[in-house]
Every structure is written in structure tokens, then in C-alpha cells.
Structure 1
Amino acid sequence: MSDPDFTMLQQRMLAEIAAKTVFSTNYLDKAALDSRVMNAMATVPRHAFVPFEMRPYAYVDTPLPIGYGKTISQPFIVAVMTDLLGVQPTDTVLEIGTGMGYQSAILAQLAHRVFTVEIIEELAEQAAHRLADQGCDNVEIRVGNGCQGWPEHAPFDKIMVTAAPELIPPALIYQLKPGGTMVIPAGLPDAQQLIQLRKDAQGSVTTREIFQVLFSTLEDVALP
């Protein structure tokens, strides 16, 4: 497919995200996502972050397989999670679950710095190449257990988690700055909820359930 074809499909994807946002007003308490988020979705080429054989489907509003039993998230969910995170240009963001780097690239458009953790080394390597090709020089990747976060660079203004634990990992809550926001899917596999977690200036935590979702499980394993 040619670049003009991808551009047309990307515009169609953006229109679908806008329409689904209107239908989700009761869940999101808003009928339109932040313009900065939509601009980032319009800027980052999703087809550059999927396996070659999946490129014709890159702008369909659905998850796509990326290998190793993992998927790239549905564009609408990427946009909603990014909007809920409320990233500011001065923010340092932690992402858990790099995949092939699409969500990382979206965050890189909005934040000062992005630190992202991927448990599968081969995916982390692919993400590094794809992000470099797109000029995302404010993203740093490490291979590790996402449940442990990245303590060397904590605390973080915002934390985005793209795989679902049953319970929100305490280490991630600890690594979130006072005044910060985390967006994370959590719960049993058949009852996951997308959650917006906020930590106030005194360190107290509140959570808000958005709607039911289905994500890959966040693996909490010891790495060599």
C-alpha cells in the first residue's frame, strides 16, 4: 500500500475514534478527546508499528497480533487511555508494556520524556528500531518486569500500563508522583476494568472505573 492510502485510512480511523467517543460520553464524561491527543494519533503512523503482514489492517479499529501472544491495542482504546492520562509537555511518563512501540510513540509526542518497560526482549528490540525510525529520541526502553516499574527514574508524573494485572502493583503506585495520574486495566481476565488512578498532593490515592476492557495479562515474573 502507498503512503496516500495509509493517510486516507488514518483519517478514517480518526473519524471512527471521534464517533466512538461521542457514544462513550456517559463513561468518559466528555464527547470529544483532547485535541493534542487526536493530533498525536494523526501524526504517528500506526502501520510503522505492526508486523509487515498486518500493515493493510493497521488503521482498522481493532487490536492486531504482534507475535509472542501479544497485541497492539485498538486505536480507540489507545486514544482514550492517552486522554485519561492527561500528559503535559513537561511530564516524565512511565509506560509498562512497550510492545512494538506504538503507544510509546504517541506518548513521545506529548511528554518531555518516556521510559518504557517490556518483558519480551525481542519486542523491546523491535520497538527500539521502530521508534528510532520515527525520530522518537525522547523514549528509553528497558527489558524487565513491568510490575516493578523503573525505580531508578522514579517518581513519574504519569504512568500508563498496557497489560492487565489482577491488582494494581504497589510498586507502580509508589513510583507515581503526588499529583500524578496512572491509567491501567486491572481485574480478572473476564472482568477487567480500565481504571484512572490519581494520587493527590498528600499521597492519597483515588480510583475511577471507566469501562470494561480485555487486555493481555501483566506478567509478574523474575527475570535473570
Structure 2
Amino acid sequence: MDFERARFNMIEQQIRPWDVFDPEVLEALASVKRELFVPEALRAQAFTDTELPIGKGQRMLEPKLEAKILQALAIKPGDKVLEVGAGSGGMAALLAHRAEWVRAVEIDPELAALAQRALQSAGVDNVTVEQGDGLAGWPAGVPYDAILLSGGVQELPDVLFDQLAAGGRLFAFVGRAPVMQATLYTKTAEGRIRKSVVFDTLVPELRQSAHSGFSF
């Protein structure tokens, strides 16, 4: 299979029609080898407009959702990023394309190991994969310039806003089936949180243990 042609077609036929035009985002999607972050048997489907199973009952988001997340978070050089729900590591690799470093926290130890192997295979050396419950907060590396929850939650934990830097952005899918709101939260210099709904969708929920809640 010609992965480079498939990657180009993904960007032109899926990403741009969804109003993703940020050149930095398009560069990340063109550079990160998405096929390395899906099971080998599914690599021919890596660029299709659908979620893909990655094991342990979890699924990788479709490319257009990953692109919309990147565009909303607007990662800049020097940013320190926390991802909650590493999955197979593909989203962490996209975040790391611009960030100084990414800390990707995955609650399932087998998926955490899978993400670590995939990132190494892809040559991504500025992502640290941690095994644990990122929804409970992750003090190492605070404050974060950007935080991403790579799955759905019914409410947001207070601690994640506490760990966000002034001017920082947090992106999350909030709600429950049949519709979740893909939402960007921005922390002002005064510590207030501004909320902007980017689009409506439905994604798999994050696995989690007990944690504090925060909702607007």
C-alpha cells in the first residue's frame, strides 16, 4: 500500500473539508506516520474516516477529529502538554510535533506499553508515557500549557484546571451519548476559565477511577 498517497488523500479529502486549514496542523498530519499507531492488521485502514480498534476495548479517533483537536489547541513551540488517555500513542505524536514535550497518561498498562513501543517505532522522542489515571491529575510537569482528554467524560475534574498554566488551553469531550460537546477551555491570567464549544460529536468514554468532578 502507498501510505504517502493515502496520507495525502486523507488530508485533502477528510481534513480540509472539515475546515482545518492551519498549516502547522496539516504539516503534523503529513509528517506523523499514523499507520504505526494502529494494529498491523488494520494498517490499510489507518487513513479511513472512522474510529479504529486498538485493543483493550479502546478505539483511535478518526483523523478529522484529531485534526480539529490540534487546530483548537493551537500547540506552540515550547508548550508543555498533558494528554489524558494515551491509547496507542498517535495523538501524543501529533501533539509532540510542535510541543516541547508531551506527557501521555494511560490507565491501562497494556495500552501504555503499546503507546511507548509505537512512539519509539515512529522516532518520537519528546513524549513520556505514564501508566495511571490522568483524570486524577498528574503533578509532574505542572503547570501545563495544554491539556487534552482524548476521550469522553461526563464532567471535568477540578484538578486539571488547577494544573493548567495561565493562558493554557484544555480540550475535552464532555457529556454522554448520544451527543458530547467538543469543548475548549482557556484559563485567563486572572485564573478564570472561558469555555467555547467547538462542535458536537460522540467519542468513546475515557476509562477512569474515582476522581473529583468539575462542571460548568
The CA deviation at 1:19 is 3.6
Q: Can you list the C-alpha shifts for 1:156-211, whole angstroms capped at 9, x where unaligned?
A: 00011111110111111111111101111011232211000000001000111111
The CA deviation at 1:57 is 0.4
The CA deviation at 1:149 is 2.5
> What TM-score comes out, normalization by structure 2 length?
0.94
The CA deviation at 1:21 is 2.2
**Which of 72, 93, 106 is 2:81 aligned to?**
93
Structure 2 gaps of 5+ residues are: 211-216
> What TM-score comes out, normalization by structure 1 length?
0.90
Identify the residue that residue 51 of structure 2 maps to in structure 1: 63
Q: Can you list the C-alpha shifts for 1:22-60, whole angstroms capped at 9, x where unaligned?
A: 4xxxxxxxxx43101110000011111000111110011
- The answer to whether the 8 A contact 1:117-1:149 is kept is no
- The answer to whether the 8 A contact 2:15-2:63 is kept is no
Q: How does 1:135-150 map to 2 (within 5 A)?
A: 135-150=123-138
Identify the residue that residue 10 of structure 2 maps to in structure 1: 13
Q: How many residues are paired up? A: 210
Q: How does 1:53-202 map to 2 (within 5 A)?
A: 53-202=41-190
The CA deviation at 1:142 is 0.6
The CA deviation at 1:134 is 1.5
- 2:147 maps to amino acid: I
Higher normalized strand content (fraction of residues): 2
- The answer to whether the 8 A contact 2:60-2:88 is kept is yes
Identify the residue that residue 213 of structure 2 maps to in structure 1: none
The alignment-based identity, stated in percent, is: 35
Q: Can you list the C-alpha shifts for 1:76-110, whole angstroms capped at 9, x where unaligned?
A: 00011011001001100000111110001111111
SS of 1:162's equivalent in the other structure is strand
Paired with 2:93 and 2:45, the residues of 1 have a C-alpha distance of: 19
Identify the residue that residue 25 of structure 1 maps to in structure 2: none
- 1:165 maps to amino acid: V
Paired with 2:180 and 2:140, the residues of 1 have a C-alpha distance of: 29
Provide closer, same or farther for how the CA distance between residues 119 and 37 of structure 1 changes in structure 2, counting only shifts above 3 A: same
- 2:76 maps to amino acid: Q
Paired with 1:155 and 1:97, the residues of 2 have a C-alpha distance of: 18
SS of 1:187's equivalent in the other structure is strand
Provide closer, same or farther for how the CA distance between residues 19 and 134 of structure 1 changes in structure 2, counting only shifts above 3 A: closer
Identify the residue that residue 199 of structure 2 maps to in structure 1: 211
Identify the residue that residue 27 of structure 1 maps to in structure 2: none
Higher normalized helix content (fraction of residues): 1
- 1:126 maps to amino acid: L
Give the ranges of 4+ consecutive aligned residues of structure 1 lying more than 2 Å apart after TM superposition: 17-22
SS of 2:128's equivalent in the other structure is strand
- The answer to whether the 8 A contact 1:87-1:110 is kept is yes
- The answer to whether the 8 A contact 1:194-1:211 is kept is yes
